[in-house]
Chains A and B, each alone.
Chain A
């Protein structure tokens, strides 16, 4: 399903015709008065007013997202696309006077200069095989910064993104010139190359495979903006072991089912004593069970079977790895002797591993560009020193268990302000 000039297009010939005339369409849109952030903010406000939770939850349930996570997504979406949030976010990322040019005389200059944030122009968003609804979110960020947005849909999108963007255009028809959604397969390199040709920057969300493929495809004159996949974990010191703090980590695991970049995959313990690692695993298990009891997840045969197979596999493998699986009701904790930062089995199955602070930098170096959030559970006296240490790895956020997957207005994403990446500073002397 394509969304072109405000219309949903299914016909291949009509799509091809739009693709062929895309350069002219873009020049024509660029010659119109620029898109103001206010227009987009107002459109989001209207869209949210008309939003109904039930059908969206149903769509997410089909994608395997439980109601708890679905409601979390929706609550986040409602907050993040509200007028006050968007306005404050623009101000936080771009400065309070973001909409107006800044006039000043630089040090050592005789004459004043005028500087202004302006859109890059055309963004091509490639959300290869990524989280649901994210493609539409990426386009919204592009709109807020006044860019023309071309979206290449991921395979598994199932109409969610097109649905959101189509509605957005129906509440604000002026946006039609700024949104193009193409449903080309990633394998259709000719079409993708044509889309890249008209773009000022390519925004890619996805795994390293997608990023790598685009690095090869994108010519040097087009900027590549990467939002790669990340992993997050909790770092626990013996002084930080407390049921309440651990329960908060457990709640993150259950609420997100460990599906997000910011989801806790496991716990590193500041110790090299394996007995302590097993102790922590045994202590964490009932807390994880408790959190799972609070947040029910829809059971499907396919998922139950997959997890069951993987847990069984892990039990067999423990003969080779020296790991030990602790099973709980709908949850599990595996204690490993190694220091590997691994993806968990997800869906409430986490790991515990030893990682003494002295070896932390060395052990996390190999993952430098794949790290995101750490929940730090430690004594008050250790916090500053450990925070400094963790900040020297590739991690970009330090939180407690409760807020690992939450965000705040104006927060950086993977260590950067997203809106700034979609803008340029235009100076006039």
Chain B
């Protein structure tokens, strides 16, 4: 079995730094694979003066030149023929362009193991049937966003009695069906089946507000859960807001904080991060995280904010070993969390840049770029 296989097929999940040796071996394997099969990637590494022979131990992880997600959106790179890709996903592309990512059989197989292991660790696999309420898009062939696919995937964790979508496909497009969602919640509360609510935190907030407006206080089955992912930063600035959101969820739906789970992931880095009981994202054995100083690009120590560089040997189909997102983040030592997991955890602070600046020159430039494309 390859080092990659052993890394992804292990009973352990948060065994850092014990898994460093295996992780480095898997990364070296993956690096060699892409170096040989993706000439564009090789050229990029060479242009940065990087030689795979330099890559020896765990200390060299940061030496692999990371690819910005923005770059991958403009130049998708593949190391296997496109017809061998099994799953395809595009990022939701909230800021203009979307990334296209494809997984081959081998990668999908490893990813499945990772996903099951992660859900099992966080006790999200259950034989008890539940009613799913998805605060997002009803899946369609045409909607390949990672978000829609992940949400559907998450409805396989426990047997589904029903699936209700907040954004339902009608003949002429998606329609918000808040009433349908509220009906489904009321029926579940009455029938005594657990509910799993999935979706963006912002949508959850809208739902809770709608319930508050109607003065509807539901007592859902105690095994009910809330699973959110992505999109905190658009609507929330403080971590405290999350606590408040969960408190409102408990008041309106009867779902306790311990049954609220948040997820982090990116299509360019398809590693599943699930928060711990203290709502922190710990780094699993499948990936490593480097926070880079925006000025020097050197790795920063714990506690200092910088660019988020995500590293994993998961992908065989595309050279996504080391990607740098446009998020600012901080890495914390595992022990500082207190949940018992010793692997370091990271905190995403938000997007880079000054969002509110929309100048006249930039407006014209945006358009010109579109004209050119």
Contacts and interface: CB of A to CB of B under 8 A. Distances in A.
Nearest to B353: A306
Interface centre among A209, A260, A261, A343 (most CB of B within 10 A): A343
Interface in A250-281: 258-261, 263, 265
A326 interface: no
A63 B357 contact: yes
A89 interface: no
A343 B70 contact: no
B235 to A, nearest CB: 14
Nearest to A299: B295
B359 A309 contact: no
B70 A313 contact: yes
Contact of B356 (A63, A308, A346): A63
A129 B355 CA distance: 11
A347 to B, nearest CB: 9
B-side interface size class: 35 or more
Interface stretch (A42-50, A93-101, A225-233): A225-233
A207 B367 contact: yes
B324 A309 contact: yes
B301 to A, nearest CB: 16
Contact of A229 (B67, B68, B360): B360
Contacts of A193: none
Contact of B305 (A208, A259, A301, A310): A301
B356 A230 contact: no
A303 B307 CA distance: 12
A343 B68 contact: no
A207 B295 CA distance: 32
Nearest to B296: A308
Interface residues of A, number: 49
Interface string B278-311: 0000000000000000110100000001110000
A260 B294 contact: no
Given A63-B356, A64-B357, A342 B307 contact: no
A301 B361 contact: no
Contact of B47 (A205, A302, A316, A370): A316
A230 B357 contact: no
Contact of B368 (A301, A309, A315, A370): A370
A300 interface: yes
Given A304-B295, A309-B307, A340 B372 contact: yes
A207 B326 CA distance: 24
B354 A302 contact: yes
Given A308-B294, A313-B70, A343-B369, A229 B364 contact: yes
Interface centre among A308, A317, A318, A366 (most CB of B within 10 A): A308
Main DSSP-derived SS at the B contact region: mixed
A317 B47 CA distance: 10
Nearest to B66: A312
Interface in A187-207: 205-207
Nearest to B47: A319
Interface string A157-196: 0100000000000000000000000000000000000000
A73 interface: no
Given A308-B295, A340-B372, A130 B360 contact: yes
Contact of A228 (B324, B364, B365): B364
Contacts of A130: 358-360, 363
Contacts of A232: 361
A181 to B, nearest CB: 19
A342 B365 contact: yes
A367 B368 CA distance: 8
A229 B361 contact: yes
A315 B66 CA distance: 12
A188 to B, nearest CB: 16
A130 B361 CA distance: 10
A230 B361 contact: yes
A366 B371 CA distance: 9
B43 interface: yes
A342 B360 CA distance: 13
B362 A313 contact: no
Interface string B40-72: 000110011000000000000000010110110
A320 interface: yes
Interface of B: 43-44, 47-48, 65, 67-68, 70-71, 74-75, 294-295, 297, 305-307, 324, 326, 328, 350-354, 356-369, 371-372
Given A208-B367, A309-B324, 19 more contacts: A63-B356, A131-B360, A206-B363, A207-B360, A207-B364, A229-B362, A229-B363, A259-B361, A260-B361, A302-B351, A303-B354, A305-B307, A305-B328, A309-B307, A312-B297, A313-B68, A316-B71, A346-B362, A367-B368
The list of the 5 closest CB pairs from A to B, nearest first, reads A343-B365, A207-B363, A229-B364, A229-B363, A306-B353
15 contacts: A64-B356, A129-B358, A130-B358, A130-B360, A208-B363, A229-B364, A259-B359, A260-B360, A302-B351, A305-B306, A306-B326, A306-B354, A309-B68, A316-B71, A319-B44
